[in-house]
Structure 1
Amino acid sequence: MHTASGFLRKRVWGVAAAVVAATLALSFALPIQAHALEVERWTAKPNKDGDSTTVLGATATRVTWQGQSDEGESVASVTIEFPEGSTVEAENVKTTVLSGLDRLEAEAQASVQGTAVVVTLAEPAPAGALIMIECNRALLPGEGGTFGLAGSYTTADGQSLEMPATDQVITVSGTSPTEQASSWLSEQEWVKAWNSNKFLHLFFDPSLIVTSVPALLSGWLVSLGLVIVSFPLAIPLGLIWSFLRMAKHRLPRAIGATYINIVRGTPLFLQLYIAFFGLPLMGVQMDPFMMGAIVLIMNSSAYLAEIFRAGIQSINKGQSEAARSLGMSGVQTMFFVIIPQTVRRVIPTMTSEFILMYKDTSLLAAVGVMELMMYAKTITAATGNVTPYIVAAGFYLIVTIPMTKFINSMEARMANGHRKHKKTDGGSGDSPSASFEPGSDAAVARSIRMSETFAGPAEADAAAQLKKEAQLGSNHMSH
């Protein structure tokens, strides 16, 4: 029994010795540096203007990989797998090898195979060296995402090993097509030459123009919305103020004159400040868009009131007298005879007021309304470049230039029509064209004929009798 147990112990010790011997033999047979490379860095440099943390996709950035080899490990090449959709050029890859504190003059050849960057050292890096690979002007996927490290490396003895796992990732923000186009433009040689001039770069940077246009478009639509809402409402209010200004009674005339003089005599900028900062102190809270529209309506109505007043007073008094002689009431005379002629005369001036209101929407940027100027101001503050203001000026000109052309053409047509009306055939008093001369009896008669359309049967009979008497009087004068 004792002999059997001793034999068993010897067998166990023999097996254990064999295992130890095999382990030692295996350790000598395999490289001790397997998976000993340690990844110290896998990062991308932020590339968004005014932001020190965001990495934009499809925008040039610098991707850096850094690995520390083991004391017994010599690295001959490194392969880094970039995510699908990335772009890296071999000439923009830089390799640095450090041994302790010494920078080695290591020659390396970089090549790009699909989305993989392969860096091969002419001489394997010394054991324990620090290897850093910088991929400059690399473009990461435009759709964005979070990307970890993938790849492999080769040792001096020819072994290919997987890149060690690391918890470091690169987080990329997605970019819009316009941002991608801007990034592409900034890489073009002609754009670089253009931006080499300081004035052109600060005021007309092509890449910034591309990104500013869609950003400012929403603000431009807000500015247009303000004018489209405000101007039609300012017209009837302006008519009311003009009627008060011309009223026969002292009280309404004083109310109209006071309002018009105060609004026209103070800056719109001050009126905006009073509305946006004064009313909230009284507990009046309102949407900034609506508040801005109300201030624009009240301001423009005062100017339109004076425009309408001047237009109404420019109509010959004979027009009113002729209409009243037909039995038309004062209200009928105003709305069917005076106002139609007034509107025709003041359309150019009203269009100018529309342009002024459109440009005055830029003042709303000072009180926090996100209109065109506010967007341009925000982008300029973020980029330190004046180009967004130039783009904003272009958006204003899209409206103002056609409207100015419209005013000029309308004034030219009216001027040509006035000259034609003044032409006479040999100075004859009964020339048809004489009926168009402002203030003439013929013009009054023409206006009477036009007003007959709005008159009732009694007024029509009165008009017929008036014309008959005028004809009899004319025949009597000729005899």
Structure 2
Amino acid sequence: MSDGIRALSPLQVERLAYKRSRARRSTLVALVSTVVFAAAAWLTITNAPGWPRVRESFFDLEAAKSSLPAVLEGLWLNVRVLVVCAVLILVIGLGIAALRTLRGPVWFPLRALATGYVDLFRGLPLIICLYLVGFGLPGLRISGVPTDPVVLGAIALVLIYSSYVAEVFRAGIESVHPSQRASARSLGLTHAQTMRIVVLPQAVRRVLPPLLNDFVALQKDCGLISVLGAVDAVRAAQIESASSYNFTPYVVAGLLFVVLAVPSGRVADWVSRRAARRQNAGGTL
């Protein structure tokens, strides 16, 4: 054994062995309880009087196979909308948060405008915003206004989610202690340099977990652009369901959205746990 590694005492060895045995026991209990619960749920559902009808209407394997290519093609549209919207939301949300944190009375109009934006779109339901943007903007008949339902749906998503992300960024910016700003200004940095070099890096690290959670929610809400006629995964499932008189395509679309969201959710959980450990340890992310 090297000089830098101290040999464990018999008591420590005993404690480690006890912890391992407890961990194995907990894992076994969790596995058994999961199997028992799953079996009980399966038996309850399959023995229900209406199960044969539900299985035929929602879990038809042939209908799932026939609808999968169209639903996958629609999901690819959702993914593209998600990527574009996520980038725009981060940029616009950060800009609004920066406006809301401006100091001095001369910036009051910008602060008021940013606050009004957040209050309006954070309180407006997404589905209503989709209808207002999707049918209101083309109704103006202004030259240059987009009429593509995909673009209009993306605009509505950006408007709504930018308000939420702006508040997340603002909370991160205001969590940085004022002494950090004062120290930066005493070194001769301007306000813009202080925000870019000192405040924003700390703020972004602190709010990364809630930002990832908003990203997971955005993944699901991208499916709502179907209400404007965009042929995404949900709309493709609706078309397939109408042609086959079967609801299985909706189940296929739902499972694909879950497959898309689960990895992001696990990443968000991992980042949250990592941030909590670093905070408890007194370090930085």
Q: TM-score, normalised by structure 2?
A: 0.76
The 8 Å contact of residues 149 and 225 in structure 2, kept in 1 or not, is answered as no
Q: Which AA in structure 2 matches 1:270?
A: I
SS of 1:197 mapped into structure 2: helix
| Map of 2:132 onto structure 1 | 274
**Which residue number corresponds to residue 258 of structure 1?**
116
Q: Secondary structure of the equivalent of 1:373?
A: helix
CA distance in 1, matches of 2:222, 2:241: 19
Distance in 2, matches of 1:411 and 1:272, equals 31
Look up the equivalent residue of 2:122 and give its one-letter code.
Answer: R
Equivalent in 328, 339, 343 of residue 200 of structure 2: 339
2:83 is aligned with 1:228 = yes
The one-letter amino acid paired with 2:101 is: M
Q: CA–CA distance in 1 between the matches of 2:188 and 2:100?
A: 26
Whether the 8 Å contact between 2:133 and 2:156 is mirrored in structure 1 is: yes
Query: Following the alignment from structure 2 to structure 1, what is the Cα–Cα distance between the partners of residues 139 and 270?
Result: 48
2:183 paired residue number? 322
Q: CA deviation at 1:285?
A: 4.3
Instruction: String of CA shifts for 1:379-414, please: whole Å, max 9, x gaps.
Output: 112222221111111111112111111011111112
Following superposition of structure 1 onto structure 2, how do residues 38-437 of structure 1 map, counting pairs within 5 Å? 197-248=52-103, 249-283=107-141, 284-421=145-282, 436=283
Q: Distance in 2 between matches of 1:252 and 1:368?
A: 36
1:355 to partner: Cα distance:
1.5
Structure 2 Cα separation of the partners of residues 317 and 202 of structure 1? 60
Please report how far the alpha carbon of residue 199 of structure 1 lies from its aligned counterpart in structure 2 after TM superposition.
2.0
Letter in 2 for 1:405: R
Q: Aligned AA for 1:392? A: A
Q: How many pairs does the alignment contain?
A: 229
Paired position in structure 2 for 1:468: none
Structure 1 SS opposite 2:154: helix
8 Å contact from structure 2 (residues 64, 248) kept in 1: yes
In our comparison, the structure showing a higher alpha carbon Rg is 1
Q: Matched residues in 2 for 1:244 and 1:321: separation?
A: 19
Tell me the secondary structure at the aligned position of residue 69 of structure 2: helix
Cα distance between partner residues in 2 of 1:215 and 1:304: 33
- Determine the C-alpha separation between the residues in 2 that align with 1:259 and 1:385: 43
Offset at 1:269? 1.0
Q: Structure 1 vs Structure 2: percent identity of aligned residues?
A: 34
CA distance in 2, matches of 1:417, 1:241: 29
Instruction: Provide the aligned C-alpha RMSD in A.
Output: 1.7
Structure with the higher helix share, 1 or 2:
2
Contact 2:117/2:163 (8 A) holds in 1? yes
Secondary structure (helix, strand or coil) at the match of 2:231 reads coil
| One-letter amino acid matched to 1:210 | K
Provide the rounded CA distance (Å) in 2 between the counterparts of 1:308 and 1:197: 50
Higher RCO structure (Cα 8 Å, ≥6 apart) = 2
Q: Which runs of 5+ in 2 are unaligned?
A: 1-50
Compared CA separation, residues 328 and 285, structure 1 to 2 (3 A) = closer
CA distance in 2, matches of 1:270, 1:340: 35
Provide, for residues 213-239 of structure 1, a one-character-per-residue CA deviation record: whole Å limited to 9, x for no partner: 112001000000101111101111111
Looking at structure 2, the residues matched to 290 and 211 of structure 1 have their Cα atoms a distance apart, in angstroms, of: 29
Looking at structure 1, the residues matched to 99 and 277 of structure 2 have their Cα atoms a distance apart, in angstroms, of: 34
- CA distance, structure 2, for counterparts of residue 225 and residue 297 of structure 1: 14
Task: Please give the alpha-carbon distance, in whole angstroms, between the structure 1 residues aligned to 2:146 and 2:72.
Answer: 28
CA contact (8 A) 2:133 2:155 kept: no
- In 1, distance between residues paired with 2:267 and 2:146? 39
Cα distance per residue 1:213-271 (max 9 Å; x no partner): 11200100000010111110111111111122223332111101111111111111111
SS of the residue corresponding to residue 385 of structure 1 reads coil
Greater strand proportion: 1
Distance 2:91 2:146 in 1: 26
Q: By how many angstroms is 1:351 displaced?
A: 1.1
Q: Read off the aligned partner of 1:264 and give its amino acid letter.
A: R
Q: Secondary structure at the match of 1:277?
A: helix
- Deviations for 1:70-98, whole angstroms, at most 9, x for unmatched residues? xxxxxxxxxxxxxxxxxxxxxxxxxxxxx
